[in-house]
Structure 1
């Protein structure tokens, strides 16, 4: 029997290692193709070898974004079983790549969010190129480490740490804009707290309006269209503000009735959202009314009605992420490309189509090859999700960004999504404890009563023990008291155990919280230290 078990384990290990080898092969093939294309297409240009190596780092970075960051968009949908793992990967890959290529920013600040002052390089192009290469590779390595540890971390914070560390290594601590770094540190708190609050609020609203009603399906027929319409408004507003910045001038030219502007304002984005939400409401109302006839009056029946909206949410979040975050992540590669091509350092640099393609394709490949690990963590290893809870998380992801952008608060999409999952989990714990409040109160009262009885028995025993002359019935009573005290102590122990069980409601895994928060906190310094070491290594090799 043991031999058969060992053979089975060996077979599984061989199968697993074979799959890992195939994954690695695909990843290396993509990186080699990018390296070769970059080197051949820029032949004859000074420093083109640096550009080719930077492109290799960019491809590696893009795959790590796909493996780690994209999970936040589709993880809840997979965890709630609204999407299969394969379906989620296909949808996310298509929409991430589409967002990057169709609506990705055509001009990106090469020094991410003003982290460092490029004038400190004193026009030394080589030093600038080395710093950007170090930043790119450090951010990618850190994302890789986080993915292996199954910790969802922020791509933006990784690249910020990389740029900061390389900048310090190249020109000292004075190069860093510490005010910007402080804002990023603030986002560690703002993002998950806001995301958690918004997600918990929506889940509570769904429970109050639908789940707690006697006729759940009738309530769902009334309220599901409202919630989906709010989701439509949120996503259209979010996509307009964050995902259509690049192509907004073309949209304005095509639709002349829109106000002439270089980027969409909140009022325009919100108005478009309201128009779409109006049509979505009546469409969903008709669909839900038709489907509700066949559904059971249960929580599972209600969950079915949230499945399709949740799939749309996953797709739209992926598109917005591709449009908004991919260009930022490959900003250092765009900076290196511009420096190599022009021979100078610019605070702004256009992103060539091939660089954007590296980002878009790399994300899709990284997601397909290594994404499932983080998708499982986000979807099922923090708290248990169903369609309603996952829908609330998706709502939080879009609405929190809208709120934060209007208030000028720095946020991270990764932290918002994971914070939303924490929020729905902690809400479940709170509601469960509230429901058990009477049971807990009765249990605490019972413990106090039993303690009083025990105290009385001990007092009586003490008094009998202190008697100098004891009769036969006194000795019999003492024996009885010892038995009663033992029974009473056992009874108190049992009541306390039941009480502790009633109080101990944990729907959010504490170990997962500790690991993820630790990864968030050390992302910027870890990426910065790695980047500084890589910068000195590159400088040492070249010089």
Structure 2
């Protein structure tokens, strides 16, 4: 079997296995066949959540050469699956309650068909985006799917449009916040470490401080986003958790940095290696938090379906243990089978990353989501992470241009072409400036990713409306 066909074969076997398992256990309710169909849709969605979203956490680490692709896939699959199983979001029907107006006129069967169409539509769109290497918001995709299917089933008045408006605002807010925090981190590290005459001495002081800051932010991030199912410490408790984690991070990092920096050359690329271990830890924690939160993109609609079909009679939206297990396995398989394409896009095709820049991206992603949660603002982890990569690239580009215009900087040999040899100095500088822009941030990728973000919700909505119409025609 050709290597490019093998991942699709493994994914198909996984979907068939999930369907077979549920078919053998589906005995409750009047419509168990819909549950089987829904589980296949949820498993397909989980595969695509893993395939596309893995780039948020592992793309910068791979781009910085802190992790090989194989190591990144293994780490992400393990921690994503652990997050989904151990701290998976409490899959109540918050999506349906927030997006659909009460009394929307949907019967139980209609609501089930809406959720199935939403899952398939979101998964198809994410699958297509992954194949072309475009990182998109899986949350926006499932929201678009629910909106489109609901309009097809019950009309435009059944959707809570103010909620959609808030989500649309987050399209702009998420990448801007991520870019701002990442640019701030990068500028700070440049000022206190990499631009100092004695970089090693500066790193011994500031790297432990930055690790402590990262540890505190991630502790609060996990307490807020990933462990809220088991523990809700409140503001004071969350701050205490952050302070304790920061203190532990500093105490661990201080002797390690001093030991690693003994005899280290006073060069930026050598000092950057001190950021490699905290970058790997950050990527693993982001993966755990992703599994804990975004597994609900597949399980949330499935929970509604199980309730409406009475597959598990009783109050609430309890799920059988196999449901999160299938979702966790789907996310892990999606990461391993289809993750590399989008990882390459985020880690290598936007801007050049090293350990320091990737550390800025990872830390700013957690800080952005934490800050947005504190103010009750919905943000996309994909938009935040990719925006942070662009933020690091653009701040570097700005500083490079400022340096060239503020002093006589020799033209980079790597960017010189034959036509520049006859240029006057000002012409050479202008050409160098244009080349430096293209070298630091790829504008084409910015346009492609931005277009994919804008199109995600309406494309998922249109697909879901089409699938919903087909399902209604087949079941009536």
The 8 Å contact of residues 303 and 387 in structure 1, kept in 2 or not, is answered as yes
Q: Which runs of 4+ in 1 moved over 4 A?
A: 342-346, 439-443, 490-493
Which residue of the partner structure matches residue 302 of structure 1? 271
- Alignment CA distance shift 1:510-1:112 (3 Å): farther
More relative contact order, 1 or 2 (CA 8 Å, 6+ apart): 2
Cα-to-partner distance string for 1:118-149 (whole Å, 9 max, x where unaligned)? 52134x11111110100000000000011011
Structure 1, 112-121 or 195-204: larger mean CA deviation:
112-121
Which residue of the partner structure matches residue 338 of structure 2? 370
The 8 Å contact of residues 381 and 509 in structure 1, kept in 2 or not, is answered as yes
Establish whether residue 226 from structure 1 lines up as the match of residue 159 from structure 2: no
Establish whether residue 497 from structure 1 lines up as the match of residue 427 from structure 2: yes
- Alignment CA distance shift 1:173-1:227 (3 Å): same
Establish whether residue 285 from structure 1 lines up as the match of residue 248 from structure 2: no
Structure 2 distance, partners of 1:121, 1:329, is: 24
The 8 Å contact of residues 104 and 243 in structure 1, kept in 2 or not, is answered as yes
Q: How far off its partner does 1:45 sit?
A: 3.6
Establish whether residue 326 from structure 1 lines up as the match of residue 295 from structure 2: yes
Secondary structure class of the residue paired with 1:108: coil
Q: How far off its partner does 1:269 sit?
A: 1.5
Establish whether residue 166 from structure 1 lines up as the match of residue 149 from structure 2: yes
Establish whether residue 78 from structure 1 lines up as the match of residue 62 from structure 2: yes
Structure 1, 65-74 or 309-318: larger mean CA deviation:
65-74
Cα-to-partner distance string for 1:53-74 (whole Å, 9 max, x where unaligned)? 1101111110001110121111
Q: How many residues align?
A: 465
| 2:369 maps to which of 401, 421, 432 | 401
| 1:531 maps to which of 460, 464, 468 | 464
Pairs within 5 Å for 1:339-350: 339-341=308-310, 349-350=317-318
Structure 2 distance, partners of 1:321, 1:521, is: 22
| 1:42 maps to which of 26, 45, 55 | 26
Q: How far off its partner does 1:245 sit?
A: 1.1
TM-score, normalization: structure 1? 0.82
Structure 1 distance, partners of 2:57, 2:234, is: 25
Structure 1 distance, partners of 2:244, 2:97, is: 33
Which residue of the partner structure matches residue 257 of structure 1? none
Secondary structure class of the residue paired with 2:92: strand
> RMSD across aligned C-alpha pairs, in angstroms?
2.1
- Alignment CA distance shift 1:132-1:218 (3 Å): same
- Alignment CA distance shift 1:297-1:492 (3 Å): closer
Secondary structure class of the residue paired with 2:4: helix
Establish whether residue 103 from structure 1 lines up as the match of residue 87 from structure 2: yes
- Alignment CA distance shift 1:440-1:109 (3 Å): farther
Which residue of the partner structure matches residue 454 of structure 2? 521
User: Unpaired runs of 5+ in structure 1?
Assistant: 1-16, 249-262, 444-489
Which residue of the partner structure matches residue 359 of structure 1? 327
Cα-to-partner distance string for 1:285-312 (whole Å, 9 max, x where unaligned)? 1111111113211111111100000000
Which residue of the partner structure matches residue 12 of structure 1? none
Structure 2 distance, partners of 1:44, 1:96, is: 31
Structure 2 distance, partners of 1:294, 1:118, is: 67
Which residue of the partner structure matches residue 184 of structure 2? 201
- Alignment CA distance shift 1:237-1:113 (3 Å): farther
- Alignment CA distance shift 1:96-1:441 (3 Å): closer
User: Unpaired runs of 5+ in structure 2?
Assistant: 412-419
- Alignment CA distance shift 1:71-1:110 (3 Å): same
Which residue of the partner structure matches residue 416 of structure 2? none
Establish whether residue 175 from structure 1 lines up as the match of residue 158 from structure 2: yes
Which residue of the partner structure matches residue 414 of structure 2? none
The 8 Å contact of residues 440 and 502 in structure 1, kept in 2 or not, is answered as no
Which residue of the partner structure matches residue 242 of structure 1? 225
Structure 2 distance, partners of 1:325, 1:491, is: 54
Structure 2 distance, partners of 1:228, 1:390, is: 14
